[in-house]
Amino acid sequence: MAEFAFQVLESFGTLSESENGWTKELTIVSWNNREPKYDLRSWSPNKERMGRGITLSKDELIALKNLLNQLPL
């Protein structure tokens, strides 16, 4: 598998935590020294490993926020 680099630049908060200590977080991450993006995924306690997730541009995050605001929760 190809190696890749990442840097968590900012964490906005934790949505949940599993029994094994992994947390699902909204962060800003730079993948392979590219422009940072908003990121929603699970992270190991030491942030050395991550689960599958999604990356979003600022425009996509705004669109998601607008969609969520319309949900009847």
How many domains in the chain? 1
Q: What burial class does residue 43 get, using C-beta atoms within 10 Å of its C-beta: 0-12 exposed, 13-18 middle, 19+ buried?
A: buried
- pLDDT exceeds 80 at position 60: yes
For 28-49, the pLDDT digits (tens) are 999 999 999 999 999 999 999 9
CA dihedral 8, 12, 37, 47 (to 10 degrees): 30
Query: Considering the domain boundaries, does residue 37 fall inside one?
Result: yes
CATH for 34: 2.30.31.70
Say if 42 falls within a structural domain: yes
Question: What's the mean pLDDT when you consider all of the chain?
Answer: 95
> Is 38 a member of any domain?
yes
Contacts of 8 (CB under 8 A, 6+ apart): 27, 28, 29, 43, 47
The reply to whether 1 falls in a domain is no
In terms of residue numbers, what domain contains 58? 6-70
